[in-house]
Structure formats: C-alpha cells, structure tokens
Amino acid sequence: MDNNITRPTIETVLERISTMEGRLTERIDGVTERLNGLTDRFDGLTGRVDGLSERVDKLTGRFDAWEEDLNIRLDRIESVASRTRSDLLDLRVDFRDLTAQFKARQ
C-alpha cells in the first residue's frame, strides 16, 4: 500500500517541478528581452555620446584657434600701447624742454 500512496505524490511533485521550470523559463526569457532592450538603448546612447564627443572636439579646436587669434591681437594691442606710452613720455620731455626754453626767454 505504501507504493500506491507514494506514486501519485512523486508524479505531483514532478508536475509541480515542470510547471515551476516553465514559469522560471518564462521569467528568464522576459529578463533576457529586457536586457536586450537595455543593451540596444545603451548602444544608442553610446552612439549619441560619441557624436557629442566629436562635436566637443571640433568646438575645442575652434576655441583653441580663437584663443590663439585673440592672443595675437592682444600682443599687437600691447605693442601699440607700449609705443603710445613711449611717445607720450617723449612728448612730456619735449614739453618740459619747451617750457624751460620759454621761461628762459622771458
């Protein structure tokens, strides 16, 4: 009699294991699909980041060229300012000499 009672229980356990395997397989498949979707989205984001990186590189090059041009212009302005200051100092000396000569003739 023990065999008859045990046999349906083993079959029931095996059916439950089989059912659980099916549900587990479905869940794993669902997770796999979600991961594949996330991978596709990640690949898309990677492409966008690469595009942004290229744009940043181009802008960096443009800013470097702009900075170099600006430095050249500032150097020229500094040179002109230095010459102007020198000329102004020469004029002050000349004015002092002229003032001294004017006072000497009076």
pLDDT of residue 5: 62
pLDDT in tens, 9-21: 888 888 999 999 9
pLDDT digits (tens, 9 = 90+) for 32-64: 999 999 999 999 999 999 999 999 999 999 999
Rounded distance, CA 46 to CA 53, Å? 10
- For the question of whether the overall pTM of this predicted structure is more than 0.85, the answer is no
The token pair that represents 103 in the structure block = 């006072």
CA-to-CA distance for 26 and 39, rounded, in angstroms? Answer: 20
pLDDT for 73: 95
